[in-house]
Amino acid sequence: MKRLAAISTLVAALALAADASAQTPPAAQKAEAEKGAAKAKAKPPAAPKKSAAPAAEARPAAPSPAASPTPGDPNVDLVYGAYQRGEYKTAFDLASARAQAGDPKAMTMLGELSANALGARRDEAKALYWYKRAADAGEREAMFALAMMRIAGRGGPADRQEAVKLLASAAKLGEAKAAYNLALLYLDGQTLPQDFKRAAELLRMASDAGNADAQYALATFYKEGTGVEKDLEKSARLLQAASLADNVDAEVEYAIALFNGTGTPKNQAAAVALLRRAAKQGSPIAQNRLARVLVTGQGAPMDKIEGLKWHLVAKTVGKGDLFLDEAFAQLSADDRAKVEDAVRRWLGKPFAW
């Protein structure tokens, strides 16, 4: 039962991975958004971070981008270049001509643009059409995108069985996101029979291809001994790799491993630096751990004002801590005011806790 509960928690965590907070404090997010809007259109979603996991019925992740430029092909480079610059109408026009000539990468690009209202009005039925044509031509990015649309029921009826076949085909062709999402289906045990060993194999495939979400998930497998032999050193190495790729959950877990010396040499200074980074990215777990470090002075110089600021920030999203509540209550009135002011400045608004 304990293992099943842990796996259930992992599935939920992975399914929500795409909701990671921005790296700026809430008070600055509006300004950042306005600043971004004044520039080119926001860049389209890349590989699912925390992926659009099938178990969560999430929207399909955009190809990243599917039309990766083929060296030596100036036509593909033009389409991809326009896409990267945010010139979506130009990309749409160029891809349309290439798609009519039978280019599957251009077809996949048209699916991406149509599905996400980039350069043309949103048309999920048309996106489905182009993805299917590209998938039939063997384009693995299109297979993945089509699978995710089938799972979510976008552009037509949901069809999980077709989605599974598409994910399996794309994974065989080396599509890391497909292998990762197929692993989640084996892990979840609803669309496919629950199979931890097969899930681990697929996660390893995606992990070896550099997928940070898969690295984080596989690290959890090695930590718990799920589908693989328990190996804390492999777990720590995978957490490090995912952390370097900016997976916030992995940053937190790797920081904890470093702090305790679990599967890796103890390095509390590096651990605290990672906790700070993840805390600033909006992780309430990192905020809580960092608060304890700073309040107790274990692993970093004691700083109760800063530490309790992070405690209250984490508490606004439900991450409470009685020990830190007591530490806050013991502060002088002046210090409590300093903490509350720091929280208001971080959140950019009044708060209640």
Residue with tokens 């952390």: 243
Is 205 found in the same domain as 67? yes
Find the mean pLDDT for residues 52-62.
34
DSSP 20-73: PPPSS-HHHHHHHHHHHHHSSPPPPP-S-TT---GGGTPPPPPPSSSSPPPTT-
- Kindly state whether residue 236 falls inside one of the protein's structural domains: no
Find the mean pLDDT for residues 272-279.
98
pLDDT band at 55 (very low <50, low <70, confident <90, very high): very low
- Kindly state whether residue 23 falls inside one of the protein's structural domains: no
Q: What is the pLDDT of residues 3-33, one digit of tens each?
A: 434 444 455 445 423 333 333 344 444 444 3
**What pLDDT does 80 receive?**
86
Is 287 found in the same domain as 173? no
- Kindly state whether residue 38 falls inside one of the protein's structural domains: no
Average pLDDT score over the chain: 84
**What pLDDT does 349 receive?**
83
- Kindly state whether residue 198 falls inside one of the protein's structural domains: yes
- Kindly state whether residue 311 falls inside one of the protein's structural domains: yes
Write down the H helix ranges in 41-87.
Answer: 74-84
| Angle (CA) 322 18 1, round 5° | 60
210, 214, 216, 220: CA torsion to nearest 10: -140
Q: What is the pLDDT of residues 101-149, one digit of tens each?
A: 999 999 999 999 999 999 999 999 999 999 999 999 999 999 999 999 9
Q: Which of 211, 241, 275 lies at the terminal end of a domain, its last residue?
A: 211
Helices 176-188 and 212-224, packing angle to 10 deg: 40
Q: Is residue 103 a contact partner of residue 76, using CB atoms and an 8 Å limit?
A: yes
Quick one: tokens of 79?
């389409």
Q: What is the pTM of this model?
A: 0.78
Q: What is the pLDDT of residues 282-338, one digit of tens each?
A: 999 999 999 999 999 999 999 999 999 999 999 999 999 999 999 999 999 999 999
Is 299 found in the same domain as 151? no
Is 199 found in the same domain as 293? no
* pLDDT more than 70, % of the chain: 78
**What pLDDT does 54 receive?**
39
Is 11 found in the same domain as 127? yes
Helices 2-15 and 176-188, packing angle to 10 deg: 140
- Kindly state whether residue 79 falls inside one of the protein's structural domains: yes
Is 185 found in the same domain as 319? no
- Kindly state whether residue 238 falls inside one of the protein's structural domains: no
Quick one: tokens of 299?
């692993």
* CATH number, residue 186: 1.25.40.10
Residue 165 carries which side chain, given as an amino acid letter? K
pLDDT band at 77 (very low <50, low <70, confident <90, very high): confident
Residue 341 CB neighbours (<10 A): 12
- Kindly state whether residue 135 falls inside one of the protein's structural domains: yes
Q: Is residue 113 a contact partner of residue 129, using CB atoms and an 8 Å limit?
A: no
Is 183 found in the same domain as 117? yes
- DSSP 8-state class, residue 51: -
- Of the candidates 353, 211, 335, the one whose C-alpha atom is nearest the C-alpha of residue 287 is 353
Domain hosting 68: range is 2-15+48-211
Q: Does the pLDDT value for residue 53 go beyond 90?
A: no
- The total of structural domains in the chain comes to 2
